[in-house]
Chains A and B, each alone.
Chain A
């Protein structure tokens, strides 16, 4: 039975004198190699050069601040409950008097951790967020030597103070 017409019958015939010299075969191979020196390279010099990301690329998360620099997140837990990989852990706390410039609502996330090893970057947390607080950016999550280093706390996730909606770190493609 023949399923395709591409099958080849293997024959083990004696090599001729020219084939036994190997030189034409080596030259043929070198020709292919040389021709690639002048072709467009498939790789890039990564840390210096970066590829253009897709408009909807989902990378490292960011916890947004509003225009007054207050954290948007109110620790409602919808991101954690929508997370299919159960990567998000939140501990909420009550905003004290005098912290109004830090947190937008009367409740805030004291601990907000994403386990980047569990995260599958599906973006459901972003979808679930009612407070416009979490977004997935174009940044990559780098490799680490320890498992503990993949658990990103608020120090790594919250948008740094004073930064505005920079396209590399913040990309509201929803609207």
Chain B
């Protein structure tokens, strides 16, 4: 037990291995004290530290050096120290800073949620709903780009991009040759392919799943439906290139789209190949296991009769009717 570090986050103490980031320590506790993360992705090496939404206050550096850290730190890239005390939602400084970060992220965001296919499962939507201000103070012109087709299956809307670099890391680490990346610097930076190069790789479709916003979307699902009209189902098939475990988004017997299964933090559990994602759009291609659990607060659970909350019918009916 001595090689575990003790860290207290919002008054809850947990023991984790040295080298764990504050964010992962918070995730091991779970609940509402977990800082939101737009760019950090536990399955991608090197991700994190870009969006600044996971800022937390360190009110006590460690057992040996109890001084607080002077500034808010990014919890996804700050390792814990023994005896560290972290404040997330209990710190008004953090909440204020996060509100500012959301405002910055939304500066160039077109807010075209009614058109965007990501609406309803968009992390930026959730983030700004929970942490942001109700109105935008931004009056200047937003940067705009044309839509780019990356291949015939992936659509890039650079307007919506928040430059989290997740897709670049995915292409770098999951696929074996990367054809797109970030061009230019600062607020001119954009995700781009090298001279409209087509990404042709068996796992390239995963950039759609890792994108926290609607910048990279599935062209085969484009404007087909809204995520809250389709029902996510767990399904699998035997696939030679990937695990074949996916989430099917169905309405009736029709498969609208195929995505990887995502966990509570919106991260892909297992990356899936493009054949599963784009080509198997028939219910007969899959072995359907059953409906996925939808969070009650999610818009996806609306108008669906199974909301994850089971109400037991009373066993006894009438007075004194003991069975």
B69 at the interface (CB under 8 A from A): no
Is A87 an interface residue when CB atoms closer than 8 A count as contact? Answer: no
Size of B's binding interface in residues, CB under 8 A: 15
Main secondary structure of the interface of A (DSSP, over half): loop
Contact of A94 among B223, B225, B299 (CB under 8 A): B223
Total number of residue pairs linking A and B with CB closer than 8 Å: 37
B303-A107 in contact (CB<8A): no
Are the CB atoms of B115 and A81 closer together than 8 Å?
A: no
Known contacts A81-B299, A81-B303; A107 and B115 CB within 8 A of each other: yes
Does B114 have its Cβ within 8 Å of any Cβ on chain A? yes
Per DSSP, chain B at the interface is loop
Q: Are A81 and B302 in contact (CB under 8 A)?
A: yes
B93 at the interface (CB under 8 A from A): no
Q: Which of A16-24, A72-80, A112-120 contacts B (4 or more CB under 8 A)?
A: A72-80
Check B115–A77 contact: CB distance below 8 A.
no
The residues of A that contact B224 with a CB separation of less than 8 Å are: 92
Question: Is B278 close to A, CB under 8 A?
Answer: no
Q: Which residue of A lies closest to B223 (CB)?
A: A92
Decide if B228 is an interface residue (CB 8 Å cutoff): yes
- Which chain A residues border B228 with CB–CB below 8 Å? 77, 81
The size bracket of the interface on A is 10 to 19
CA distance A94 to B117 in the complex (A): 12
State whether the Cβ of B222 lies closer than 8 Å to any Cβ in chain A: yes
Chain A interface residues (CB < 8 Å from chain B): 74-78, 80-81, 86, 92-94, 105-107, 130-131
Q: Give chain B's interface residues, CB within 8 Å of chain A.
A: 112-115, 119, 222-226, 228-229, 299, 302-303
Closest 4 CB pairs of A and B: A76-B114, A77-B226, A92-B223, A107-B115
